[in-house]
Amino acid sequence: MAAIYSTREWREARAAAIERDGRQCTVELPADTGEIWRCPEVHDLVVHHVDPIEAGGAPYDPSNLLTICRSCHTRLHWMMTANDLVLAA
C-alpha cells in the first residue's frame, strides 16, 4: 500500500484534493450549540482515503479523498479503530 504514496498519480491526486477542498481541513462536527463546527486548520494537511485502500477503496479517485489536518486525521483513525473494536466484541 505505501508504494502508492511515492507515485506521480498520488502526488497529483493529493494536490488536486487539497486544492478542491480550499486548502483547509474539511472536518465538520455538530457543536453543543446545535450549529456545525468546522476545523479551521490550514496547516499540516493530509489527504485521507474515505474508503481505505485495504478495503478496496480507490487510491486516486477524488470522491474517495478528503483533506484533513493531521490532528483530525489522528482522531479519525482512533475513532475508526475504537469502532472496529466495539463491532468485533
Q: pLDDT digit string (tens) for 10-62?
A: 999 999 999 999 999 999 888 888 888 899 999 999 999 999 998 999 999 99
Rounded Cα distance between 3 and 75, Å, is 24
Quickly tell me which residue has 478496496 as its cell.
Answer: 56
- Which value, in Å, is the radius of gyration of the alpha carbons in the chain? 14
pTM (2 d.p.): 0.81
- 6's grid cell: 511515492
